[in-house]
Amino acid sequence: MNSPDQDTRDIAKGALINFSGVIAKSINVIFLIVLARFYGLEVTGMFILARAGFEILSKLGALGLDRSLLSLLSRHLVESKAEITDKAYCILGQGLFIGVAVTLVIFLSAQGLIGLLAGGIFAQQEVVASLRIIICAALFSTITAVFLAATRAQRVMHYEVIVKSVVEPAVLFILSVLFYFQDFGFKGLCLAFLLSTAVGSIVATFFFKQFFSLQRTLANVFNFKRLAKFFTYTLPVGVHDVLNLLLQRIDLFLVERFLSPIFVGIYGVAQEIASVLKAPQQSFEPIFIPIIAGTYQRGDRAVMRQQYQNVSRWVMLITGGLFGFMYITIRPIAALFGAEFPIPPAVFALFGLGLLINGTMGLGESILLIKRPAINMANTGVAILINLCLGLFLIPKFGLYGAALGTLLTYTVLNVSRVVEIYVFYRIQPFTRHHLKILLALILSGLSAVFVQYFSASSLHFDLITGLLFLLLYALLLASLGAAPEGRMIVSKLISRLKPGYKTGLSKSSEI
């Protein structure tokens, strides 16, 4: 049985590995820059919309199996650490069966309906044919999701980092450049995406075999014992994941409906840049889920609260720093995409504030997943309705500003609801006095940097210098306000590993 301190170290270690994957995934930003400069504004908007539609279809096909398997496997592995249990292989086989079956249904339905559903900038016959190519990637995406979820249940995070943050983005980037020089156009981008997911699926299968027997897994594919119970558990998780992705993309579709492909390109790139702020939450969540599920299985609510508060605080700290730096330096960041992509700072600020709120309080979604996945589905369904109504009202009046404001308001309502529900169901909540310290440091350093920026010479280079000044002031304020004990423990552990000679001197601080 793992101790709370061991769980804390596992969370920090896993998040660090995942964060390195997010940094590696910056090749996606390079891909977007190449896409914007090589293919132009209209094709960029088309591809962003096509990929958004594919993500929704692939989430529906995977039916929440990535997170369902992660939670269930983690609980079974807590029960028996000596060997992989028969229950675990049964769940893996059934997960593969459900995922492939649902994906095939989605694939065939989408292929038949795409000609009828496509419209707007997707009305051309050539574009519809290209979309049929990208839909083929759904099966590979489902297999990858199942196999990587199994490795994450073992608290091994770097396999997903390699597949999703290195292999797939690198293959997509390389092939998109090659196909550009072959004049494949939009069709070439869709083909590059398909091949990148296929390669990712192959690599994920190889990593899966490092921990599990592929033969035993396949032997359980048609094991229908308790299949209905498993399907009942994963269905609301899958519907929630689809709704959650739709929540993140609905404003993009509304921008295409009310504005023009040019604004789709600008707004889509702004979303992609702001998505960097999801990195802290995405880094912690994969390791947070198995640890919080195992803690729940042991019935230790005090440790659940401790880890909930720890991770919420760490996500807020890192996301806040990224948000402040990127807001101050948004002009030089946008300049990388060329003069065609003028991103209004206010639009990015609204995006960023919404993602900061979602990162700080959104971990409640993972806690609800353990025993109450249907609550997540209901929360996200209501949030979609709110975002849709806000978008229909705000976008025609305020354009991109209205779309970003609608997203901020929706995230605020959604996450306040999650915090209340977690408290009602589990009597735990994410906030501590250290959250207030982070908020104070962020406000003071942010206002100082904006003040300097406002009354100084305006240039891209000076914006970068001001951004670095913000980070320095933010770090100094955090240090002066004092870190939480868990944070000091982790920092002491890292220093002791980097400097073995100091191990003795730091042994006391690591016990805080």
For position 512, what pLDDT does the model report? 25
Give me the pLDDT at residue 325, please: 94
Residue 272 CA to residue 265 CA, distance in Å, equals 10
pLDDT over 50 (residue 494): no
CB atoms under 10 Å from CB of 79, counted, come to: 11
Highest averaged pLDDT of the listed ranges 130-139, 275-284, 411-420: 411-420
- Token readout for 183 is 């004049």
Residue 476, number of CB atoms within 10 A of its CB: 12
- What is the pLDDT at residue 504? 40
Q: How far apart are CA 373 and CA 132, in angstroms?
A: 32
> By CB neighbour count within 10 A (0-12 exposed, 13-18 middle, 19+ buried), where does 146 fall?
buried
pLDDT digits (tens, 9 = 90+) for 166-213: 888 889 888 988 988 888 877 888 899 999 999 999 999 999 998 888
What pLDDT shows up at residue 461?
A: 81
Of 89-98, 126-135, 240-249, 389-398, minimum mean pLDDT range: 126-135
Confidence of residue 476 (pLDDT cuts 50, 70, 90): very high
Residue 506 pLDDT = 37
Q: What is the DSSP letter of 1?
A: -
CA–CA separation, 190 and 327 (whole Å): 32
Widest pairwise Cα distance in the chain: 70
Mean pLDDT on 62-90: 69
Provide the 3-class DSSP secondary structure of residue 61: helix
When computed from its CA atoms, the radius of gyration of the chain, rounded to whole angstroms, is 23
Phi and psi for 405 in degrees, rounded to 5?
-65, -40
| pLDDT value of position 498 | 47
Q: Is pLDDT of 466 > 60?
A: yes
253-289 confidence digits (pLDDT tens): 788 778 776 777 778 778 878 888 887 887 787 777 7
pLDDT averaged over the chain?
79
Report which secondary-structure segment, H or E, holds 328.
helix 301-328
Q: How would residue 334 be classed by pLDDT, with cut points 50, 70 and 90?
A: confident
pLDDT in tens, 312-325: 999 999 999 999 99
pLDDT at position 119 over 70: no
Average confidence (pLDDT) over 450-469: 83
Q: pLDDT of 146-166, one tens digit each?
A: 898 888 877 777 788 788 878
Give the residue among 200, 214, 211 at the shortest CA–CA distance from 161. Answer: 200
What value does the mean pLDDT take over residues 471-482? 90
Task: Report whether pLDDT(221) > 80.
Answer: yes
| Confidence check: pLDDT of 441 > 90 | yes
Are the beta carbons of 330 and 345 closer than 8 angstroms? yes
Q: The pTM is what?
A: 0.68
Within 372-459, residue ranges assigned H as helices are: 373-398, 400-426, 433-454
Please report the pLDDT score of residue 386 as a whole number: 93
8-state DSSP, 156 = -
127 sits in the region (left: phi over 0; alpha: psi -120 to 50; else beta) called: alpha
Q: For the segment 60-69, what is each residue's pLDDT rounded down to a tens digit? A: 777 777 777 7
For the cut 60, the answer to whether the pLDDT of residue 123 exceeds it is no
Cα(472)–Cα(54) distance, integer angstroms? 40
d(CA 375, CA 485): 33
DSSP state of 427: S
Q: For residues 287 and 354, what is the distance between their CA atoms, to the nearest angstrom?
A: 23
Q: What is the pLDDT of residue 74?
A: 67
Structure tokens at 109: 């339905």
Q: Is residue 28 very low, low, confident or very high in pLDDT (cuts 50, 70, 90)?
A: low
Place of tokens 């409640």: 364
pLDDT bracket for residue 25 (50, 70, 90): low
- Determine the average pLDDT of the residues in 225-232: 81
The confidence score (pLDDT) of residue 277 equals 86
pLDDT tier for residue 405 given thresholds of 50, 70 and 90: very high
What is the model's pLDDT at position 21? 54
pLDDT at 216 exceeding the cut of 50: yes
Cβ neighbour number for residue 219 with a 10 Å cutoff: 13
Instruction: Look at residue 100 and tell me whether its pLDDT is greater than 70.
Output: yes
CA atoms within 13 A on the CB side of 326: 28
What pLDDT was estimated at residue 486? 58
| Contact present, 422 and 428 (Cβ < 8 Å) | yes
Average pLDDT over residues 114-135: 62
Kindly state the average pLDDT of the residues 220-246: 80
**What percent of the chain stands above pLDDT 90?**
20
Among 6-20, 31-45, 197-211, 481-495, name the most confident range.
Answer: 197-211
Question: What pLDDT is attached to residue 473?
Answer: 94
Residue bearing the bigger pLDDT, 98 or 460: 98
**Identity of the highest mean pLDDT range in 10-14, 17-21, 262-266, 324-328:** 324-328
**Tokens 């735990």, residue located:** 428
Nearby residues of 451 by Cβ (< 8 Å), 6 or more positions away: none
Q: How confident is the model at residue 406 (pLDDT cuts 50, 70, 90)?
A: very high
pLDDT of 282: 77
Q: Inter-axis angle of helices 279-298 and 137-153, to 10 degrees?
A: 50
Q: Residue 143: phi, psi to the nearest 5?
A: -60, -45
Nearest to 88, CA basis, from 100, 102, 70, 103: 70
